[in-house]
């Protein structure tokens, strides 16, 4: 998976992943009204509005970016219709050649983890016939139950060229309550960084990076720099840029000297750019996808400036 992701990052010259985290408040009124008219003001109406919104956003930006990260919670809350919208969003993005990082943050063990793995990145077996269900290329995993919550995914990563992004140092304000505790003379997130690096050793690709990556928040630049040193062969998925306050200056420590090593996520900053205060009155309701495209271009320039200081 990691070699495919790096190839797409190089092709687009853009280490950006756009988070597809739709909310009804971001969706233009005309899309919601069309959907409610056909499907009612119901979970189905909401899920169909998400799908329409996502497709227009993807049409406007797919040529500029290597990857998308749909956040499953936004869809799952609407039950089976939401899950259908999640799956159809992934299929649409795959048709456009994008790498899919499913933000599912699973964290169970043993046979339960194996079921998550088969459903999301492997295949499910029904009486000897095999089916791909969600079709992500990579998924986010919570590792704080230990190796038993990682190991069941490794076979599918290897068999189907898939990957994981494992939470190491998360972007949220209170992540330090647990992740920065001292354990055996180092911080817990540092220990987790060592472990994720070890767990990924069997899945190193041609470009010397592992398909087992790490989630490292842009909002904690010192910790990111520290982790970059601890885990040189681990790709970082970096959320927290933009809406959560992470800036370009905070990102330099996430990259390696080769200009690789990190892919930066922005969700609201791109897909809700038309609602952003700085863009007030700049876009009509019909121009939301154009607003997303312009936000991607702005982010790309911002990231290129960071990369210019590194390589």
- Residues lying near ligand OMP in the complex (CB under 6 A) are found at 19, 21, 71, 103, 140, 170-172, 215, 217, 239-240, 242-244, 265-269
Longest CA–CA separation in the chain, Å: 60
Could you list the beta-strand ranges (E) of 170-308. 182-183, 186-187, 210-216, 234-238, 262-266
- Could you give the C-alpha distances from 15 to 27, 173, 197, 301, in angstroms and in order? 26, 24, 21, 11
Closest CA to 197 of 227, 218, 170: 227
C-alpha to C-alpha distance for 214 and 234, rounded to whole angstroms: 7
User: Which residues have C-beta within 8 Å of that of residue 290, sequence separation ≥ 6?
Assistant: 60, 283
Identify the residue whose tokens are 């540092």.
Answer: 190
Minimal distance, residue 90 CB to ligand OMP, in Å = 15
- For the bound state, the minimum distance from the C-beta of residue 128 to ligand OMP, rounded and expressed in Å, comes to 35
Q: For ligand OMP, give the closer residue by CB, 39 or 87.
A: 87
Q: How far is the CB of 105 from ligand OMP (least distance, A)?
A: 6
Q: How far is the CB of 204 from ligand OMP (least distance, A)?
A: 22
287, 274 Cβ separation under 8 angstroms: yes
Is 138:211 a contact under the CB 8 Å cutoff?
yes
Which of 105, 135, 187, 300 does the annotation list as catalytic? 105
Q: Which of 228, 208, 113, 111 is nearest to 168 (CA)?
A: 228
Q: Least separation, in Å, of the C-beta of 216 and ligand OMP?
A: 8
Residue whose beta carbon is closest to ligand OMP? 170
Of 35 and 170, which has the nearer Cβ to ligand OMP?
A: 170
Closer residue to ligand OMP in complex, CB, 195/208:
195
Please indicate whether residue 169 is annotated as part of the active site. no
- Pick between residue 17 and residue 157 the one whose CB is nearest to ligand OMP: 17
- Identify which of 21, 92, 81 has the alpha carbon closest to the alpha carbon of residue 56: 92
Place of tokens 């601890």: 230
| Nearest CB to ligand OMP, comparing residues 189 and 283 | 189
Please choose, from the candidates 252, 174, 168, the residue with its C-alpha nearest in 3D space to the C-alpha of residue 217.
Answer: 168
Q: How far is the CB of 311 from ligand OMP (least distance, A)?
A: 25
For ligand OMP, the closer of residues 44 and 293 by Cβ is 293
What residues are annotated to the active site?
Answer: 105
């Amino acid at each position: 998976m990691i070699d495919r992701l790096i190839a797409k990052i190089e092709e687009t010259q853009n280490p950006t992943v756009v988070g597809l985290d739709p909310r009804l408040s971001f969706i233009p009124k005309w899309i919601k009204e069309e959907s409610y008219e056909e499907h009612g003001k119901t979970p189905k109406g909401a899920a169909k509005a998400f799908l329409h919104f996502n497709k227009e956003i993807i049409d406007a930006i797919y040529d500029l970016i290597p990857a998308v990260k749909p956040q499953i919670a936004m869809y799952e809350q609407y039950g089976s219709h939401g899950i259908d919208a999640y799956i159809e969003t992934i299929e649409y993005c795959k048709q456009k050649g994008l790498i899919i990082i499913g933000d599912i943050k699973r964290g169970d063990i043993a046979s339960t983890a194996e079921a998550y793995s088969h459903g999301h990145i492997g295949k499910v077996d029904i009486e000897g016939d095999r089916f791909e269900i969600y079709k992500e290329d990579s998924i986010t995993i919570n590792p704080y139950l230990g190796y038993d919550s990682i190991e069941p995914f490794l076979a599918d990563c290897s068999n189907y060229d898939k990957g994981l992004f494992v939470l190491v140092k998360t972007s949220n304000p209170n992540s330090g309550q647990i992740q920065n505790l001292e354990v055996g003379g180092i911080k817990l997130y540092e220990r987790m960084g060592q472990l994720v690096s070890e767990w990924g050793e069997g899945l190193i690709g041609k470009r010397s990076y592992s398909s087992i990556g790490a989630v490292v928040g842009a909002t904690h630049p010192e910790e990111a720099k520290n982790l970059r040193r601890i885990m040189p062969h681990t790709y970082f998925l970096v959320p927290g840029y933009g809406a959560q306050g992470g800036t370009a200056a905070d990102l330099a420590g996430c990259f390696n000297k080769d200009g690789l090593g990190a892919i930066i996520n922005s969700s609201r900053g791109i897909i809700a750019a038309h609602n952003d205060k700085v863009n007030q009155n700049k876009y009509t309701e019909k121009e939301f996808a154009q607003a997303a495209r312009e936000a991607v271009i702005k982010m790309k320039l911002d990231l290129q400036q960071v990369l210019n200081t590194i390589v």
